[in-house]
Amino acid sequence: MNKLLLTYVFSLILLIVSMWFAISIGSVKIPISTLWDAKTNPTAHHILWNLRMPRVVLAGLVGASLALAGAALQGLLKNPLADPYTLGISSGASVGAVATIFFGISLPFSGQFTLPIFSMVGAMVTMIVVISFARLVDRTMKMETFILTGIIFSSFLGSCISLMIALTGEQLRVIMGWILGSVANRGWSYVQMILPFVIIGLIIIWLNRRELNALVYGEEKAHYLGVHVKRSKYFILGGASILTGAAVAVSGAIGFVGLVVPHMVRAVIGSDHRHVLPIAFLNGASLLIVCDLVSRTIIAPTELPIGVITSFIGAPVFAYIFFKQRHVRRGA
């Protein structure tokens, strides 16, 4: 059995195991028989299918979306530190979501999808502005330029959110939920809200997997290889924006998932996006499910925001990648 196949098998097993632990562990223990037998323990069956299962599925979809978006952005920008959080894209999506709540915006015929739509618009606009500004400042688009640009726009967008919080009244608690990042108290309606956009974003990025491989060698070489560079970039950026916006709309700004998971996947299997994308998708789901489990059990009955746990993991990894890249450049 080769290394690649082992990685797929391990990722699937890890996802299944993490889902089961997240479902079964809590103030009420859920036996495995509850999955198919509702009569033996009706209370456990209700907790499983109406409380824990939608939360676990939602955490998995959010983690998978952020990891996939991070893998696509890192491949497109050829920057291991690129992810929706470090580039300020999550902040843009948060502004879109918070503004929708703050102003009570409702699009005709969109219903519950109004929030993710505005969140995706915020993510896409922020992404375009960040990349354009970074290119304006430094045409070589060095790693440090991207990071600083992301920090600048994250700070500005954070101020916009703080202003809306200061002006709000009864929506304060709802808005705070988006800032801290959480999948608590989310039912199946949230899963229904994110699922169509995850599928759309996944399809868009998957259809551009070969283009991502070609773009690793630079835009000029990719063009000679037959890639329509401009169109591919717009599709990849659009797909990443859809995934990020949908994730933020249902869970808030959760950092570093899109940074940690693709980096670990590339360290194991290399940079072929035909395999990086699906494996990052699976492991992103597993990571956020485990982080959510830790966030609700580590100081039970109080819950930590899930973003606290991901930051504890992601910040050291971010520092390591940054140090490694600087060391490699100096060595060169």
146 and 79 Cβ atoms separated by less than 8 Å: yes
Cβ 180 vs Cβ 252: under 8 Å = yes
Residues 215, 52: contact at Cβ < 8 Å? no
Full-model pTM: 0.88
3-state secondary structure the chain: CCHHHHHHHHHHHHHHHHHHHHHHCCCCCCCHHHHCCCCCCHHHHHHHHHHHHHHHHHHHHHHHHHHHHHHHHHHHHCCCCCCCCCCCHHHHHHHHHHHHHHHCCCCCCCHHHHHHHHHHHHHHHHHHHHHHHHHHHCCCCCHHHHHHHHHHHHHHHHHHHHHHHHHCCCCHHHHHHHHHCCCCCCCHHHHHHHHHHHHHHHHHHHHCHHHHHHHCCCHHHHHHCCCCHHHHHHHHHHHHHHHHHHHHHHHCCCCCHHHHHHHHHHHHHCCCHHHHHHHHHHHHHHHHHHHHHHHHHCCCCCCCCHHHHHHHHHHHHHHHHHHHHHHHHHHC
Rounded Cα distance between 276 and 261, Å, is 10
pLDDT digit string (tens) for the chain, length 332 residues: 588 899 999 999 999 999 999 998 877 778 777 777 767 778 888 888 888 999 999 999 999 999 999 999 988 888 777 788 878 888 888 888 888 888 888 877 777 778 888 888 888 899 888 888 888 887 766 667 777 888 889 889 988 888 887 787 666 666 666 677 788 888 898 899 899 999 999 999 999 999 999 888 877 888 888 888 888 888 998 899 899 888 988 888 888 898 889 988 998 898 899 999 999 999 999 999 999 999 988 887 888 888 888 888 888 887 777 777 666 555 55
CA atoms within 13 A on the CB side of 23: 25
| Whole-number pLDDT of residue 49 | 87
The pLDDT, as a whole number, for residue 59 is 95
Kindly give, in sequence order, each residue whose CB lies less than 8 Å from that of residue 252, ignoring residues fewer than 6 positions away: 94, 97, 177, 178, 179, 180, 181, 182, 307
The pairs formed by 158-163 with CB atoms below 8 angstroms and a separation of 24 or more are 158/91, 160/95, 161/91, 161/94, 161/95, 161/98
Which two structure tokens, joined as six digits, stand for 74? Answer: 């890192």
Please, what are the domains in the chain? 3-331 (1.10.3470.10)
8 Å CB contact between 261 and 72? no
